[in-house]
Amino acid sequence: MPERNMSPAEVLNALASGHPVVDVATGIFRDGACRGAVATISERVIGANGAGPRQEWGMFWIIGGPGNGKTQTLLEVGRRVCDVGQSTGNNKFVVVHVDFSVGPTQVGTPSGLQAAIVQHSLAGNAPSGEVFDIAQRITLKSHMETAIGPVSLGIDVLSALAGCPVGLGTPTGWALKKGVRFARLSKWYIKRALTKRLGNQGELLELLLQWSHYVLRPTSERKMKFDLSLRDIARSEILFDLYCYALEQAGYASIVIFLDEVRVGHLELLRQLWERPLGSDIRPRHRLNIFVVCAAEKEVFNTVKTKPLLCRRLAAETEHRFYLRGPSIPLAAVSSDDFEHVRSKIQYLFELAQLPKREVSDSELNRMRKKLSKLKGKVKWDDLWRKMYKLYKPG
């Protein structure tokens, strides 16, 4: 999912192809349930995160048919959580987005889901400030600019756990006293510090050491080895707990997990987020707050309510369920209806993008409105945006 604001031309292309839109200024998406989800979820997450890690569980559902904005709503919620969280300066948190409809089929297994959550978390979270600047220097030097997420988050977490100065390669703190560049000593120093702190917690130590090996000099080979290590640990179904423990120890309070295109067959996998396998008493227990936002069709949520073991955790409070509707298109034009909203926004985007557009007559618009209104609620937002774009596109 894109993170930066799109240009007007990019927004038009996204609307024409049914992809999510990242555009704050023009107010593209108007579904009331979307706005309610953005306000409710961000307020709950930021409020709990400010109180610190206390093992809080929050479950939310974005429910709707195909083409009615589930992915768009997840995107809007994620951006608001990140924007508000960064501006308030509360405890740190990570945001994860996993789409069950794309990527390797291994995501559909218990160990695959845990590995996917950790990998997407590493890729999608890059702490700002000095940590990000240092990560940029490391990745540029290694010609691995795409690794900025796992490297910067790794620096943040590992420096806290190992008690190392954050300034990798910068003569500050301990490194200044020794009169050497810290980056040269970080490998053995981190290993010694982590071993001393974690003792015989073998899986956690292995996870962090492989992560540090990759962070210090990111290469394709080291990334492959780190990914293999994640999958190996995930097979024991403890990777998610270990990762949450590491985050908490490094000063993080919450993890927010967005799961898109959830199907009935995926529901049992979600038990991995709160259940512990046999032998879990030997593992460190974390108190990280966990918030899960699922986007799914109505039949998936209805299935949850029929499974007692899942219902208690996954059903969510009534106010945490958001049902997305399709556009409402009355036969008689109203200045504020959904058809008019889409028409005016498409026109506005063509003008912002400085692209040529057709002159559309009132009779053409009336014919389209009449045709769509006869479908009686079967029109999807994707369809309406695409049809309106084609109407105004020259040629």
Nearest to 49 by CA among 255, 195, 283: 255
User: Strands, DSSP E only, in 64-132?
Assistant: 92-99
Q: How far apart are CA 339 and CA 58, in angstroms?
A: 35
The per-residue pLDDT for range 151-184, each reduced to its tens digit, is: 888 888 888 888 766 554 443 443 333 333 444 4
Q: For residue 204, name the pLDDT band (cuts at 50, 70, 90).
A: confident
- What length does the chain have? 395
DSSP 60: E
Distance CA 77, CA 75 (A): 5
Q: Above 60 in pLDDT, residue 17?
A: yes
* pLDDT tens digits along 185-200: 466 777 788 888 877 6
DSSP classification of residue 147:
G
User: 3-class DSSP state for residue 140?
Assistant: helix
**Rounded to an integer, what distance in angstroms lies between the CA atom of residue 260 and that of residue 283?**
30
Q: What is the percent of the chain with per-residue pLDDT over 90, rounded to a whole number?
A: 34
**Which one is predicted more confidently, 316 or 264?**
264
Cα–Cα distance between 197 and 190 in angstroms, integer? 10
- Residue 174: is it exposed, middle or buried by C-beta count within 10 angstroms (0-12/13-18/19+)? middle
Q: SS3 of 98, please?
A: strand
Q: Which residue has the tokens 């555009």?
A: 23
Whether the Cβ atoms of residue 203 and residue 220 lie closer than 8 Å to each other: no
281-286 contacts, C-beta under 8 A, 24 or more apart: 283/201, 283/203, 283/204, 283/238, 283/241, 283/242, 283/245, 284/201, 284/204, 284/241, 284/242, 284/245, 285/241, 285/245, 286/53, 286/55, 286/241, 286/244, 286/245, 286/247, 286/248
Q: What is the pTM assigned to this prediction?
A: 0.87
Residue 27 pLDDT > 70: no
Task: Check residues 134 and 99 and name the one with the higher pLDDT.
Answer: 99
Report residue 241 CA to chain centroid gap. Answer: 18
- Residue 363 pLDDT > 70: yes
Domains of the chain with bracketed CATH: 1-29+328-395 (no CATH), 32-125+251-325 (3.40.50.300), 126-238 (no CATH)
* Burial of 351: CB neighbours in 10 Å, binned 0-12, 13-18, 19+: exposed
| Dist. CA 215–CA 223, nearest whole Å | 9
Q: What pLDDT score does 30 carry? A: 67
